[in-house]
Amino acid sequence: PKVVFHHHGDTSTVVEADAGSNVMRAAVQNGVAGIVGECGGQAMCATCHVYVRESHLGALPPISEDEEEMLDCTAAPRDDRRSRLGCQLTLGEGLEEVEVDVPGAQL
């Protein structure tokens, strides 16, 4: 699956990830700036927060309770429609391609 990370200032990073991986892991493994993944994908740190681009929203899995809680603790403001935790977005099986905007500050 393909993940496109859009950064501030109009640059982007395109990554080919393995099926079964997720958006956070794809970013960390490829050194994508702005996505930390501190908790290792447990939905406990919110440092993998991304804004998913509109055209891909329909393909996303539902938001779990844990993710819902962490989305209120993100460094950058939450967007009601587009904010997700990258670690909760498993790639492959329905999510063959996704484009996300990386928040500016994420520590």
Which chain residues interact with ligand FES by CB under 6 A?
24, 37-39, 41-48, 70, 85-87
Under a CB-based contact definition with an 8 Å cutoff, are residues 7 and 103 in contact? no
- Residue count of the chain, please give it: 107
The least CB distance from residue 28 to ligand FES, in Å, is 8
Q: Give the integer Cα–Cα distance in Å for 37 and 14.
A: 18
Choose between 34 and 37: whose C-beta lies nearer to ligand FES.
Answer: 37
The least CB distance from residue 82 to ligand FES, in Å, is 16
Choose between 9 and 77: whose C-beta lies nearer to ligand FES.
Answer: 77
Under a CB-based contact definition with an 8 Å cutoff, are residues 30 and 18 in contact? no
Choose between 12 and 64: whose C-beta lies nearer to ligand FES.
Answer: 64
The least CB distance from residue 59 to ligand FES, in Å, is 19
Q: In 3-state terms, what secondary structure has residue 68?
A: helix
**Chain residue whose CB lies nearest ligand FES:** 87
Per-residue b or e along 78-98, where b marks 16 or more CB atoms closer than 10 Å to that residue's CB: beeebbbbbbbbbbeeebeeb
Choose between 47 and 99: whose C-beta lies nearer to ligand FES.
Answer: 47
